[in-house]
């Protein structure tokens, strides 16, 4: 089959690789019809999330048709149309039973490696480095889906691929980002990053009752997309201080909750940005927490910081004193996608949310390398690239 392979830093290639096979009797094989490139893929592409091996198959947002099932698969049959969550979960362990699917204790065969890096292992994930199990991803023609009775969501009501594809990751992620803010009526929520995850966080914050959402980015076309989602916007390149601007916009109090939808490759300007870039380049810090620091500084006393942007390791100049003295709460996580797929499918069906709004580019799978390039460099007003097989 054809698959998008990681070949080194800033180098992906669509190559011929062996077709996936059923390895466990709870696996299914899915013929992929649509897949997408995520901001998280850019962290792999840029070499920040490791370890990757030459030839690893990328991609964790995908859907398609079941073409084979293992003997113990009970709920899926050949021909079913499914969206597959990016996290892999067994459905039976303590964490799965507590609805914390991205922390499944049984799905990451490289748990020992993850324990060394993170203290404890998180779940397996498709196409997302050997720290999450080294599973082949879904920017491909086929994928092996473990625990097929647990993750894949059957699509039965005639939705188009593009309406439901993002249930695999970015829609639940943006939603979880907003949900972690514990929004109450009248709240103002600030969202750093107007990529697809940020846009879904904005839409979700309104769905969950926010009165105002303020979005921060530097790309005008993305700020315009945020305004279409009813957010007020701040271009961080045109203000002296984002935190002070937000505090002013909220009558001196600060946003009730702040969502970091940027992650470890944040941009910035001035000496602070130079400091982080330099320390990251020489390996003294793994991540650039520029948006996160601003979120912490801007947030009102007693407010919540919701971190859905991806971080990999250690950050510097982390304002712990601010968090402690001002009673801030930080919540974070890889999305517990399984928790949100069904309720969000209902919201799509009820037309409360239209996931297709974020799509700007549609390419054949064979053009995946071009897709990475356009998405990385935000060329041609790129917001989200969907790859069709």
Q: Least distance (Å) from Zn ion to the CB of residue 341? A: 14
Instruction: Identify what 147 binds: ligand NAD, Zn ion, none; CB under 5 to 8 Å per kind.
Output: none
Instruction: Identify what 215 binds: Zn ion, ligand NAD, none; CB under 5 to 8 Å per kind.
Output: none
Q: Least distance (Å) from ligand NAD to the CB of residue 60? A: 8
With both helix axes pointing from N to C terminus, report the angle between 270-281 and 290-298 in degrees, rounded to the nearest 10.
Answer: 140
User: What gap in Å lies between CA 55 and CA 14, rounded to an integer?
Assistant: 10
What are the residues binding ligand NAD (CB under 6 A)? 38-40, 42-43, 169-170, 173, 192-198, 216-219, 222, 236, 261-263, 266-268, 290-291, 308-310, 334-335
Kindly provide the b/e burial profile for residues 70-97, where b requires at least 16 CB atoms within 10 angstroms of the residue's own CB: beebeebeeebbbbbbbbbbbbebebbe
Nearer to ligand NAD, 43 or 347 (CB): 43
User: What gap in Å lies between CA 23 and CA 20, rounded to an integer?
Assistant: 9
Kindly provide the b/e burial profile for residues 282-292, where b requires at least 16 CB atoms within 10 angstroms of the residue's own CB: eeebbbbbbbb
Q: Least distance (Å) from ligand NAD to the CB of residue 316? A: 16
Nearer to Zn ion, 4 or 40 (CB): 40
Instruction: Identify what 93 binds: Zn ion, ligand NAD, none; CB under 5 to 8 Å per kind.
Output: Zn ion
Nearer to ligand NAD, 23 or 118 (CB): 118
Residue 306 binding Zn ion, by CB under 5 A: no
Can you tell me which of 5, 30, 36, 38 binds Zn ion, judged by CB under 5 A? 38
Identify the H or E element spanning 61.
Answer: strand 61-69
| Count of other CB atoms within 10 angstroms of residue 251 | 8
Nearer to ligand NAD, 126 or 192 (CB): 192
Residue 386 binding Zn ion, by CB under 5 A: no
Query: Could you tell me the maximum CA-CA distance found in the chain, to the nearest angstrom?
Result: 62
Nearer to Zn ion, 22 or 93 (CB): 93
Residue 121 binding Zn ion, by CB under 5 A: no
Can you tell me which of 87, 106, 129, 245 binds Zn ion, judged by CB under 5 A? 106
Q: Is 366 helix (H, G, I), strand (E, B) or coil?
A: helix
Nearer to ligand NAD, 80 or 169 (CB): 169
The answer to whether 73 and 148 are in contact (CB under 8 A) is yes
| Count of other CB atoms within 10 angstroms of residue 359 | 16
Which residues of this chain interact with Zn ion, rule CB under 5 A? 38, 40, 89-90, 93, 96, 104, 106, 169
């Amino acid at each position: 089959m054809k698959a998008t392979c990681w070949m080194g830093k800033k180098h992906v290639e669509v190559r011929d690789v062996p077709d996936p096979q059923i390895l466990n009797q709870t696996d299914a094989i899915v013929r992929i019809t649509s897949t997408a490139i995520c901001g998280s893929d850019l962290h792999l592409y840029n070499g920040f999330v490791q370890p990757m091996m030459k030839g690893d198959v990328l991609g964790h947002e995908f859907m398609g048709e079941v073409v084979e099932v293992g003997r113990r698969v009970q709920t899926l049959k050949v021909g079913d149309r499914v969206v597959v969550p990016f996290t892999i979960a067994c459905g039976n362990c303590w964490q799965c039973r507590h609805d914390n699917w991205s922390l499944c204790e049984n799905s990451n065969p490289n748990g020992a490696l993850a324990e060394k890096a993170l203290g404890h292992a998180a779940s397996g994930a498709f196409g997302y480095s050997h720290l999450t199990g080294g599973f082949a991803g879904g920017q491909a023609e086929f994928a092996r889906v473990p625990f097929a009775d647990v993750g894949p969501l059957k699509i039965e009501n005639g939705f188009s691929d593009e309406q439901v594809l993002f249930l695999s990751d970015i829609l639940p992620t943006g939603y979880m980002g907003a949900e972690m803010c514990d929004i109450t009526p009248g709240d103002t929520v600030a969202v750093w990053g107007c990529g697809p995850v940020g846009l879904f966080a904005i839409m979700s914050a309104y769905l969950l009752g926010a009165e105002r959402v303020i979005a921060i980015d530097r790309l005008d076309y993305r700020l315009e997309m945020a305004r279409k989602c009813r957010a007020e916007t701040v271009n961080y390149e045109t203000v002296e201080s984002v935190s002070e601007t937000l505090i002013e916009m909220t009558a001196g109090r600060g946003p009730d909750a702040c969502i970091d939808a940027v992650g470890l490759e944040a941009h910035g300007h001035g000496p602070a940005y130079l400091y982080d870039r330099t320390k990251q380049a020489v390996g003294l810090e793994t991540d650039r927490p520029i948006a996160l620091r601003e979120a912490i500084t801007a947030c009102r006393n007693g407010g919540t910081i919701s971190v859905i942007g991806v971080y990999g390791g250690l950050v510097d100049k982390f304002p712990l004193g601010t968090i402690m003295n001002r009673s801030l709460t930080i919540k974070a996580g890889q999305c517990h996608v399984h928790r949100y797929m069904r309720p969000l499918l209902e919201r799509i069906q009820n037309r409360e949310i239209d996931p297709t709004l974020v799509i700007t580019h549609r390419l054949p799978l064979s053009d995946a390398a071009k897709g990475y390039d356009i998405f990385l460099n935000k060329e041609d007003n790129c917001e989200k690239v969907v790859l069709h097989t």
